[in-house]
Homo-oligomer: A and B are copies of this chain.
């Protein structure tokens, strides 16, 4: 049953420093009938992810920015409500890049169907989706932890960090998580089963991290940058690997204030033969089926655990997103749209 209008959230202004509510605008727009080869989707869940902060800036990163007045980009789990493609039927659940909206027409090509019988459809946006694949591919192709090595990851209760630690353990490594606050730390230690966890809000965070890594750090999965990087750098062992998949601590107003930390960082890269490697999971897309099979089995068996933080209502997406950039979410952040 197709609809003739949708609700969407557009980029109203480019942020200066921290994102504000006024950088977004919610609006209603007409929606045409789907064209040949398209499906019309009703969005069930919208995924909110740190990379979206980058798309709000003018500066080109690995992808072009969202245009002012355009719908905020994002991936969703959505249901087909009208179809003009033979492979898709009304009722099918698919992953799509509809952006922050209630309904959309999209080309059927490139959609991926989700089977609700195999796993909750929300996992397609988290542990069995792009965040999980970021963890998996960064470890498999860059971090390459070996038995007995120490792997450190921040945002350890989040969708990338939680799989980094658990998957590192499955490879035989020791997992040390960093998280903000007692609740998240308890979850990382007790529910996810990391070998150790350190609260980055502790005044003596660098010392605690050092204590949690008595044999140094062999893999640091970089998703935050900033002060956490400064605490990890002195602990990195010779030949340590640093997959860099995010820098959330510096998305909201990274500045060139303070001492110049680059010369000392370069010196450590040289003197300890470190590897820093930026990556976006798309690079390893051909291995997505491996990921889905391997991690899917581990999720189904309960060996890999995950947590979701679900906010109700599209209109609450901007607030939830702003909170996430400050670490307020607890688990994979999703918006239940309908």
Interface residues of A (CB under 8 A from B): 54, 61-62, 222, 225-226, 229, 238-239, 244-247, 250, 254-280, 283
Contact = CB atoms under 8 A, between A and B. Distances in A.
Nearest to A142: B275
Q: Which 9 A-B pairs have the closest CB atoms?
A: A256-B259, A261-B262, A61-B271, A269-B278, A270-B278, A254-B263, A276-B276, A262-B262, A275-B277
A270 B255 contact: no
A268 B263 CA distance: 16
Contact of A266 (B62, B225, B257, B267): B225
Given A256-B264, A260-B259, A260-B260, A279 B273 contact: yes
Nearest to A283: B273
Contacts of A262: 260-262, 265
Given A271-B62, A273-B280, A278-B274, A257 B260 contact: yes
B283 A266 contact: no
17 contacts: A61-B267, A62-B271, A226-B263, A239-B283, A244-B266, A244-B269, A244-B270, A247-B263, A247-B266, A247-B267, A254-B264, A259-B260, A269-B276, A271-B278, A273-B280, A275-B277, A275-B278
Contacts of A255: 260, 263
A62 to B, nearest CB: 5
A278 B260 CA distance: 20
Nearest to A272: B278
Nearest to A273: B278
Contacts of A276: 269, 274-277
Contacts of A256: 259-261, 263-264
A280 B273 CA distance: 7
A61 B264 CA distance: 12
A133 to B, nearest CB: 15
Given A61-B271, A256-B260, A268-B278, 7 more contacts: A247-B263, A250-B266, A256-B264, A257-B260, A260-B261, A269-B277, A275-B275
